[in-house]
Amino acid sequence: MKVTQEIQTSTKIKSNGSALVDQPLLSPKSFESGQEVRWCPGCGDYSILKQMQQILPDLGLKKEDIVFISGIGCSSRFPYYLDTFGMHSIHGRAPAIASGLKATRPELSIWIITGDGDGLSIGGNHMAHVLRRNFDLNILFFNNEIYGLTKGQYSPTSAENSITKSTPYGSLDHPFNPLAFALGADGSFVARSMDRDPKHLQALLKIAHSHKGTSFLEIYQNCNIFNNGAFFVFTEKDSKPVHTIFLEHGAPLVYGVNKEKGIILDGYTPRIVELGENGISTNDLWIHDETDRTKSHILSRFFEDPRVEGNFPRPFGVFYREERSLFEQRIWQQLETVKQKKGLGDLDALIAGNETWVIKE
């Protein structure tokens, strides 16, 4: 008995890793599952869900080829609310489940939904490994700097001294810098957006999808119950222009209410400058290059407490992207290579092995 052609072709690998097809037009509404959404009123998750439903019809995917896989936590309820395939799995393990699915079904568009506790605490190990392997997956990392579902303990991204239920006298833990973590694990796409900027979030979701490789998109998400306003300094109108910088590939790093500030690189040291002062123009500024690994690391360190004098603005957008071979493609190529070299497996020959003998009647 030989490996049948049927098995080999039952799963088609498409060169771009996802299925692009002609199909009836889908609308945001066609992605609503009809399940009652059970996040707290005012939760940032609503916005993320809405932006996702908005962009899904534009991705050119068939509904049935989309899979959302989550772990445990508030964010991980996400798959229930989308009328695609979905799995609400166990705490921290979504990347591992997605890995097995993508390895065997490369044509699917797979989205991992996780949070700061799920993705960087209990599931930190899987997060590191999924990033280095570089399957073609999208990871949406909802960061609200708090444990919401367990009702308000500090998380691995909570600031030092956070007063929470489990740290009434202030937390002593040093927080993770999620993007530095992702870059450190050789993530091939590392980006940041926020729940309260729908346009930016939609754009970033689309770019994350279009990237061939593991996309790590951190989304600042407000937990209005246990950590309300954690990111307001970055998301609200009056402070946003001063404390954020929006990255665009090939454009200079400028920010400020009137775009009057910029960042220059002095060797490896970034410095904030005022445009027009000391003869500095946009021509002197750091030009963002998404493909520059070294500079992406420097950008990821724009991570200071915004209350600190002279702090760098918090960057949003794509920090880094590189085209790197996909793990699932390497798996399938190896299968093909071995089949070509050794020929299709013959089960009877395999069972018999190298040395046999016959006992006669």
Partner 1 sequence: MSKFIEERKNVVVKFAGDSGDGMQLVGMQFTNNTALIGNDLGTFPDFPAEIRAPQGTIPGVSGFQIHFGSTEIYTPGDACDVLVAMNAAALKSNLTNLKPGGIIIANTDGFDAKNLRLAGYEENPLNNESLQSYLLHKIDITKLTRESLKDNPLGTRDKDRSKNMFVLGFIYWLFNRDIKNTEAFLKRKFINEHDILDANLKTLRAGYNYGDITESIGQRYMVRAAKMEPGKYRSVTGNPALALGLIAASLKSGLKAFYGSYPITPASDILHELAKHKNFDVITFQAEDEIAAICSAIGASYGGNLGITGTSGPGMALKTEALGLAIMLEIPLVVINIQRAGPSTGLPTKTEQADLLQAVYGRNGESPLVVMAASTPSSCFDMAYEAVRIAVEHMTPVVLLSDGYIANGAEPWRFPTSDALPEIKVSIAKEKDAAEQKYLPYQRNEDLVRQWAVPGTSGFEHRIGGLEKEDITGNISYDPENHQKMVKTREAKIERIAKYIPKQTIDQGAEKGRLLILGWGSTYGSIRSAVRDLLEEGYDVAHAHLHYIKPFPENLGEILRNYEKVLIPEINNGQLIRLIRDTFLIPAIGYNKIKGTPITKNELKEQVYSMLSIEKEIASVGEI
126-145: which residues touch partner 1 (CB under 8 A)? 126, 128-129
Q: Does the protein bind partner 1 through residue 180 (CB under 8 A)?
A: no
- Cross-strand partners of 235: none
Burial of 46 (0-12, 13-18, 19+ CB in 10 A): middle
- For strand 261-266 and strand 254-255, is the pairing parallel, antiparallel, or unpaired? antiparallel
* Residues within window 28-47 making contact with partner 1, judged by CB under 8 A: 33, 35
DSSP secondary structure string for all residues of 268-321: TEEEEEETTGGG--GGGSPBP-TT-HHHHHHHHT----TTSTTPPPEEEEEEEE
* Residues within window 81-120 making contact with partner 1, judged by CB under 8 A: 82-91, 93, 95-105, 107-108
CA dihedral 158, 163, 167, 169 (to 10 degrees): 130
Beta carbon nearer to partner 1, 68 or 246: 68
Beta carbon nearer to partner 1, 164 or 214: 214
Take residue 82 and report the two structure tokens written for it.
Answer: 């989308």
Stretch that binds partner 1, among 162-170, 177-185, 265-273, 338-346 (CB under 8 A): 338-346
Tell me the closest approach of the beta carbon of residue 186 to partner 1, in angstroms.
14
Q: Does the protein bind partner 1 through residue 21 (CB under 8 A)?
A: no
Q: Does the protein bind partner 1 through residue 355 (CB under 8 A)?
A: yes
Q: How far is the C-alpha of 200 from the C-alpha of 240, rounded, in Å?
A: 13
Stretch that binds partner 1, among 142-150, 198-206, 292-300, 337-345 (CB under 8 A): 337-345
Take residue 189 and report the two structure tokens written for it.
Answer: 């796409």
Stretch that binds partner 1, among 199-207, 215-223, 256-264, 336-344 (CB under 8 A): 336-344
Q: Does the protein bind partner 1 through residue 25 (CB under 8 A)?
A: no
Q: How far is the C-alpha of 164 from the C-alpha of 175, rounded, in Å?
A: 14
Tell me the closest approach of the beta carbon of residue 197 to partner 1, in angstroms.
28
Q: Does the protein bind partner 1 through residue 335 (CB under 8 A)?
A: yes
Beta carbon nearer to partner 1, 229 or 345: 345
Q: Does the protein bind partner 1 through residue 125 (CB under 8 A)?
A: yes
Q: Binding string, 255-284, against partner 1, x = CB under 8 A? A: ------------------------------
Pair 196, 144: CB distance under 8 Å: no
- For strand 269-274 and strand 261-266, is the pairing parallel, antiparallel, or unpaired? antiparallel
